[in-house]
């Protein structure tokens, strides 16, 4: 026997150690079942930790709400002269854009804030921040980073609410429709 061979007491040996090529490397479901049974507590703990982490992340996220509405803007689009219909598309487009700008106006946002009482709702004025490690710490110990509603004057609260409504509002025209 050569001195450069590694001998481990078995008949399968090569220059680099044991010869694993002769072993059966096929998929063995019984061996997989053995590993699952052997490490069942580790698997159960990992699944429980993942479930708890998922619940914590879900509960820490700020809920987002979205509403959609479609409005029909009626404009006098045709004038009839002696049984001939004349359509003015430019006035229609101007009327649609005017309606769009009215929907995006500060006056309408102010009416929405007033009718829904948004300037008196702390969750609307000062929404909870998104998910982060520091926010978990602040919430766990009951520390609030948002200012209290009493710290702001009614005019400041109304301005904040109007700004939030206007920032989150989008108005778009549906092409080729009224």
Residue with tokens 């200012």: 147
Contact 125, 119 (CB under 8 A): yes
Contact 161, 124 (CB under 8 A): yes
CB atoms within 10 A of CB 19: 13
User: Which distant-in-sequence residues (6+ apart) come within 8 Å of 110 by Cβ?
Assistant: 158, 162
Q: What is the mean pLDDT of residues 123-137?
A: 71
| Chain segment 3-17, per-residue pLDDT in tens | 555 555 555 555 555
Query: Taking the model in full, what pTM does it have?
Result: 0.51
| pLDDT band (50, 70, 90) for residue 82 | very low
User: What are the backbone dihedrals phi and psi of residue 105, each rounded to the nearest 5 degrees, phi first?
Assistant: -75, 155
pLDDT, mean over the chain: 75
Residue with tokens 């778009």: 172
Helix, strand, coil content of the chain in percent (nearest 5): 50, 5, 45
Of 64 and 55, more confident: 55
């Amino acid at each position: 026997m050569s001195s450069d061979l590694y001998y481990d007491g078995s008949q399968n040996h090569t220059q680099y150690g044991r010869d694993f090529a002769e072993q059966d490397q096929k998929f063995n479901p019984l061996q997989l079942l053995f590993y699952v049974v052997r490490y069942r507590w580790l698997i159960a703990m990992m699944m429980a930790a993942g479930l708890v982490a998922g619940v914590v992340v879900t509960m820490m996220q700020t809920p987002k709400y979205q509403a959609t509405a479609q409005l029909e803007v009626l404009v006098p689009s045709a004038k009839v002269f002696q049984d001939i219909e004349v359509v003015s598309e430019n006035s229609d487009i101007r009327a649609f854009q005017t309606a769009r700008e009215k929907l995006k106006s500060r006056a309408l946002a102010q009416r929405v804030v007033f009718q829904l009482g948004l300037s008196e709702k702390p969750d609307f004025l000062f929404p909870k921040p998104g998910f982060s490690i520091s926010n978990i710490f602040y919430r766990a110990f009951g520390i609030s980073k948002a200012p209290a509603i009493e710290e702001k004057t009614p005019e400041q609260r109304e301005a904040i609410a109007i700004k939030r409504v206007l920032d989150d509002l989008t108005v778009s025209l549906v092409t080729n429709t009224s």
